[in-house]
Amino acid sequence: MTLPSTYADRNCSLARSLEIVGERWTLLIIRDAFFGVRRFGDFATQLKIPRAVLTNRLKLLVQEGVLIRDEEATGGVEYRLTAKGVGLWPVVRAFMNWGDTFYSPSGVKRAQRHDQDGGLLDREGRCQDCGLAVPVPEIRIEPGPGFCRTDSDLDPVSNAINTPRRLLEPIVRPRTPSAGEGELSATRSTGRAD
């Protein structure tokens, strides 16, 4: 696909990984999925990514088992991270750590907490209160000291993902305000990370 086939030897798992998630936009799509974005249109508007590209990326990610595509009873389509996709959290975290360290002098842009006890997570995702390696669905993410609040954010989707929330929890869309969206899959069997 994007990989020039000879994307380095087969003997490098880095190269292999990049073949799947190394294309432009892909990791941002996955980040959004961690933040609870699930709908085609939400990915498109939040990332401002051309819909044709989004279609391609989602197709590849589904094909590789990073996402699953769910046609809901309501007719809606949802893309959700599989266990394999959740396994990418350390990658996302490592990128965030690096960016925070070298491009965010005023502190991390997003802080991570253990939802159960409110403890801050260290760079490796361990809760500084209870000492556990926190599984992804128990991670609560919230704006950190380096976050630049643009008073009225942009679209509702961006606003939603900038609100303190647990990872993987679907964003609440202003549409269908009080429907039965309450606790659908809740803590699904999204497997454990890492």
Partner DNA sequence: CTCCCCAGTTCACTCATTGAACTGACGCGT
Partner DNA sequence: ACGCGTCAGTTCAATGAGTGAACTGGGGAG
Question: Which residues bind to DNA, rule: CB under 7 A?
Answer: 1-2, 4, 23-25, 39-42, 48-53, 55-56, 58, 69, 74-77, 173, 175
Asked whether the beta carbons of 73 and 179 are under 8 A apart, the reply is: no
Any residues with CB less than 8 A from the CB of 49 and at least 6 apart, and which? 25, 28, 29, 43
Structure tokens at 42: 């939400």
What is the C-alpha separation between 138 and 117, in angstroms, rounded? 10
* Residue reference for tokens 């996955």: 30
14 binds, among DNA, its own copies, none (CB under 5 to 8 A by kind): its own copies
Q: How far apart are CA 145 and CA 106, in angstroms?
A: 6
21 close to 7: Cβ distance less than 8 angstroms: no
Minimal distance in Å, beta carbon 86 to DNA?
A: 21
- Retrieve residue 190's tokens: 């999204």
Q: Is 27 in the site for its own copies (CB under 8 A)?
A: yes
Closest contact distance (angstroms) between CB of 67 and DNA is 11
Among 6, 152, 178, 189, binds its own copies (CB under 8 A): 6
The residue (of 148 and 186) whose beta carbon lies closer to its own copies is: 148
Q: Does 96 bind its own copies (CB under 8 A)?
A: yes
28 binds its own copies (CB under 8 A): yes
The nearest distance, CB 77 to its own copies, in angstroms, is: 22
Closest by CA to 114, choosing from 124, 125, 123, 105, is 125
With CB under 8 A as the contact rule, the residue among 52, 73, 148, 179 that binds its own copies is 148
Binding site partner of 95, from its own copies, DNA, none, Cβ cut-off 5-8 A by kind: its own copies
Residue 84 binds what, of DNA, its own copies, none (CB under 5 to 8 Å, by partner type)? its own copies
Half-sphere exposure of 181 (CA within 13 A, CB side): 13
Is there binding between residue 152 and its own copies (CB under 8 A)? Answer: no
